[in-house]
Structure 1
């Protein structure tokens, strides 16, 4: 519910990312058809990149279950927590994506005249397409954001964000999505992962101050989370 209602809590500082996102998306939509025509049709390439993006996303979707079971076997509470958060983020991404796809109703690059029309025939033939946003991108970026937050090491961040980027590019090269679909899906996925991490993770609360009772009266307790990354 917090993710769904978050647009109602937008403040002035959020314009620093909303404005560039809106400009980038608008620019991409305007040039989507032109870019896809330049890319051309290549069944062999499209098949390879589609398989890569599919298998990688399947792996990210299964990773929370595998990670939780491994954490349970090894009595690793932190791994279990990370797996639960990653699973929550990817599930939230899938649910939100399904709703957005049907609401936006955009044709894929291989549908219609290939220009990615929105509601091309009105409500009479709905749904006509499910191109925007990219489900693969939303899943991968929500997963990557949680893992990068839980295991906050440079190598981990490079690995998960590189993988998410590779899947995003692959969705265009496989002609499953337009560039703007990927931009929207990646951005929403990252924001979902960020929301789950900041509101659910112990790792997000690295520093806290609270009042406590001591033998000498009232005191202040400072907690610093030095847990594993």
Structure 2
């Protein structure tokens, strides 16, 4: 494969993911019905209608997930010029990351098996925490009849399902090699990556989708710092464990955050 064709393929993969990232928080408000205002209590029919997807009932969860996934998949059609404010910096960071991915994994990140194993274990634990905490919050909210923890747990769970489904689709469309293949060359659209594609990081997108919801619900500065620090750790350790290239973790994190904010702003009961 020539350098030119490889660059073209990398560029195509980058553009496709950045287009997907158009699920920006702005669209959560512009493409969905407005939620009830804080001053107006929902009507009895709205509160108790089991068919109302904004009722945040468990019965309505599958429908919300499917409809949100449709919005995420079709989001590139809703790109607007105002999105360049965040899209251009992400594109610049992605270009720089892609250009240095192979060098970073070969020469910067340690290949010591013990170090890599410890980092991989850490990433698994952190992702597990972002999965487990919403479960605990939802359960506590149900038992104590508290709306906030129940909503936080439910929406974080929904965001993670959407994020995971999206990441799996991207992985099998782009078929990027893992760092342990072909001396970390990181090529896209390769048959040898079909059993375990690398792009984007599933740990990153799941952790950041959950983090975005939790940090929106629990928004004190110290809470947000703690939540996003742990999410950063989940992404960074995927790279340190030689499981993913920096670009995989970067765009997994960005995509997860956007999906989490989208789900929260779409369904948060104001």
TM-score range, shorter chain: 0.7 to 0.9
Once the two structures are overlaid, the 10-residue window that deviates more, 162-171 or 56-65, is 56-65
Query: Does structure 1 residue 134 correspond to structure 2 residue 236?
Result: no
Match of 1:33 in 2: 102
Q: Give the match for residue 96 of structure 1.
A: 166
Q: Specify the alignment match of 1:170 in structure 2.
A: 237
What 5-or-longer segments of structure 2 have no aligned partner?
1-69
Deviates more, 1:188-197 or 1:70-79: 70-79
CA-CA distance at 1:129 after TM superposition: 4.0
Structure 2 partner of 1:54 = 124
Q: Is the 8 A contact 2:178 2:193 kept in 1?
A: no
Aligned residues between the structures: 200
Larger radius of gyration: 1
Q: 1:106 aligns with which of 161, 176, 184?
A: 176
CA positional deviation for 1:126 = 6.5
User: 1:156 aligned to 2:156?
Assistant: no
Cα drift, residue 89 of structure 1: 0.6
Q: Show CA shifts across 1:134-154 (max 9, x none).
A: 001101111111111111111
Structure 1 residues 65 and 40: alpha-carbon distance in aligned structure 2, compared to 1, 3 A threshold: closer
Match of 1:43 among 101, 113, 126: 113
Secondary structure in 1 aligned to 2:187? coil
Given the two structures, how large is their TM-score scaled by the length of structure 1?
A: 0.83
Task: Report 1 or 2 for greater relative contact order, CA contacts < 8 Å, sequence distance ≥ 6.
Answer: 2
Query: Contact 1:105 / 1:131 at 8 angstroms: preserved in 2?
Result: yes
Name the structure with the higher helix share: 2
What CA distance in whole angstroms lies between the structure 2 residues aligned with 1:180 and 1:60?
21
RMSD across aligned positions (CA): 1.4
Instruction: Return the structure number with greater strand share.
Output: 1
Match in the other structure for 1:5:
74
Structure 1, unmatched stretches of 5+, are 204-229
Deviations 1:70-126 (A, max 9, x none): 1111111211111111001111111101100000100110012321111234xxx66
